[in-house]
Each structure stands twice: as structure tokens, then as C-alpha cells.
Amino acid sequence: MAELFKDAPKTGKSPTVFAFPQVVEFLGVAGQPVQGPWPPHQEPRPDPTDIDSGPVAIPDPAGQPTDQPTAQPPGVRP
């Protein structure tokens, strides 16, 4: 991507336009995976081919209906 902007005319006063190839190179390096073992506080990613290792839905306890009636604002009749 930086090759597209390498020979572009440098007009204007913004230094960020001139540093764009370095930013593209930095992002390319920053996106690489880190070598080495997993840190002890993290679990490795599950195998995407294993169907049972997918996400599990957990019900929200605050979203459960209650048996108690809800309070009505004053002046409102059910």
C-alpha cells in the first residue's frame, strides 16, 4: 500500500501525509502474531472445527420475569 504513495507529490504543510508510508509499514509489523507460548493468564483459542467448543449462551438473570407486579406511575390505571 505504501508503494502507491511513494512518488506522490508532497503538497501542503501536513507532516502526517509525508509519514504515511512509515505508518503503513508500522501497521504491517504490528499486525503480526507474537512468537512464543501463551501467557499463563490466557487460554488458547478454541479449535474452529470443533463444534462443541463454540460460544455458549448464558441467560441474563436481570432479564428474567418476576412474579411481582410492576409499579405503575401515579395517575395511570391498568
User: Residue 7 pLDDT more than 70?
Assistant: no
The pLDDT tens digits for 9-67 are 666 676 666 666 777 777 777 777 777 777 778 777 777 777 776 677 888 888 777 66
pTM of the model: 0.27
18 CB-near residues (< 8 Å, 6+ apart): 10
Is 1:24 a contact under the CB 8 Å cutoff? yes
Q: What is the pLDDT of residue 45?
A: 74
